[in-house]
Amino acid sequence: MPEFFASCPKGLSEVLEKEIRDLGIENTKLTQLGVFFESNWKECYRVNLSSRIASRILKPIKDFFAYHQDELYQQVSKIDFSKHFDVTKKIKVECSLHDSILHDQRFVAMKVKDAIADHFREHTGGVRPDVDTKDPDVRIHVRGIKNEFSIALDTSGESLFKRGYRMESGLAPLKENLAAGLLKLSSWDQQSPLIDPFCGSGTFLIEAALMALKIPPGSFRKRFGFQNLKNYDPEVWNMVVSEEIAKEKDSLDFKLYGFDLDSQVLKKAKANAENAGVLQYLQFQRKDIAELESPVSLGTVVTNPPYGARLGEEDLLHDTYKDFSHSLKTHFKGWNAWVLSGNKEFSKDFHLKNSRKFFVFNGAIECRFLSYAIK
């Protein structure tokens, strides 16, 4: 059975493993940066379509040791890429290196690209695939840790957080797969009201609505990487799409509420929710956090308050967190609040004791996802 690797933001591999197992795949192995799973290609299509948390699904094709650039080149030239994709496909090599002997990512990517191109030239009468770094048909990943290298085909294509419904974003939007992973870490039960008082472009609320409706997050995407591989079977893909769409729920009997100070960003949130087909379940309102009141008697707060303080904005943000804390204590008794915090300083202004804590990465920023039981 082929082995695949689902990558995800650091801190979310456990919830990703559970998600993959819930999709029916039993053989999984957890790592810090993602999950290995064994499955046939049909299930790989399914994970691409239905995983809310994965960033990409890779198909490792060769692991080897290399101590020198020539060795890397030799090892990659031995791979029969023509078995996996046609010479007419435009390719891109992406590279990530950690403590690697060969430390220049661009140079390693170029060496691998040369080895692939030369391999094709030798085996296809002088023809080689074109490179397209902006819109490739096939992406090849190289990962190097010390002297150990792994070459993988990217079955996703563009990263899976790019669902296809977001046209508009605020200044610091969360990636959709990070938002979905945080919702899974939170105690929200997917059947009761959810509030995001700093909703920005609406990522938490839209992902939550899709999750509760069981709409596959990949159903808005036009294409996936596996569709450019030689073994792509459109019939199997159509079967997976029908099976996953059959799981969708018709409607929700609760609402999700978004508030933000910025009326422009709320327009974007509405447009995104409309694109995702969930606007009817969402309510947006312009509101300063100091004036926030609960729109329903009980629910869950999940939010990502501002923390990328520009110079001079710090004082303002200290007040924002104090106001947030005050609004929670005054109007949200009995609720659970989950807050993604990228800055310890501001959490202190909260004057609330967190009951649970997860460490997650929002891009390169290490954040804490904190839970507060409001009394």
Using CB under 6 A, list all residues that contact ligand SAM.
169-170, 172-174, 198, 200-201, 203-204, 260-262, 265, 288-289, 304-306, 320
Residue 27 φ/ψ, nearest 5 degrees: -90, 95
Q: Which is nearer to ligand SAM, 214 or 322 (CB)?
A: 322
Q: Which is nearer to ligand SAM, 170 or 225 (CB)?
A: 170
Q: Which is nearer to ligand SAM, 3 or 288 (CB)?
A: 288
DSSP labels, 322-340: HHHHHHHHHH-TT-EEEEE
Cβ of residue 170: shortest distance to ligand SAM, in angstroms?
5
Q: Which is nearer to ligand SAM, 151 or 352 (CB)?
A: 352
Output the residue with the shortest Cβ distance to ligand SAM.
200
Q: What tokens appear for 319 in the block?
A: 């007040």
Q: Which of 362, 102, 86 is nearest to 231 (CA)?
A: 86
Cβ of residue 204: shortest distance to ligand SAM, in angstroms?
6
Cβ of residue 258: shortest distance to ligand SAM, in angstroms?
9
Tell me the CA distances in angstroms from 206 to 165, 196, 246, 282, one per residue in order: 10, 11, 20, 8
Contact by Cβ (8 Å): 283, 257: yes
Cβ of residue 340: shortest distance to ligand SAM, in angstroms?
8
Cβ of residue 19: shortest distance to ligand SAM, in angstroms?
20
Q: Which of 29, 34, 37 is nearest to 8 (CA)?
A: 34
Q: Is residue 298 left, alpha or beta, with left meaning phi > 0 and alpha meaning psi from -120 to 50?
A: beta
Cβ of residue 327: shortest distance to ligand SAM, in angstroms?
9
Cβ of residue 171: shortest distance to ligand SAM, in angstroms?
7
Q: Which is nearer to ligand SAM, 243 or 323 (CB)?
A: 323
Residue 271 φ/ψ, nearest 5 degrees: -60, -40
Location of structure tokens 């994709």: 85
Q: How is the beta sheet containing 3-7 ordered, strand by strand?
A: 28-31, 34-38, 3-7, 56-65, 148-154, 138-145, 91-98
Cβ of residue 181: shortest distance to ligand SAM, in angstroms?
13
Q: Which is nearer to ligand SAM, 138 or 317 (CB)?
A: 317
**For residue 319, what is the DSSP state?**
H
Q: Which is nearer to ligand SAM, 81 or 204 (CB)?
A: 204
Q: Which is nearer to ligand SAM, 155 or 341 (CB)?
A: 341
Tell me the CA distances in angstroms from 39 to 24, 28, 62, 241, one per residue in order: 10, 9, 18, 17
Using CA atoms, how far apart are residues 271 and 47, in angstroms rounded to an integer? 27
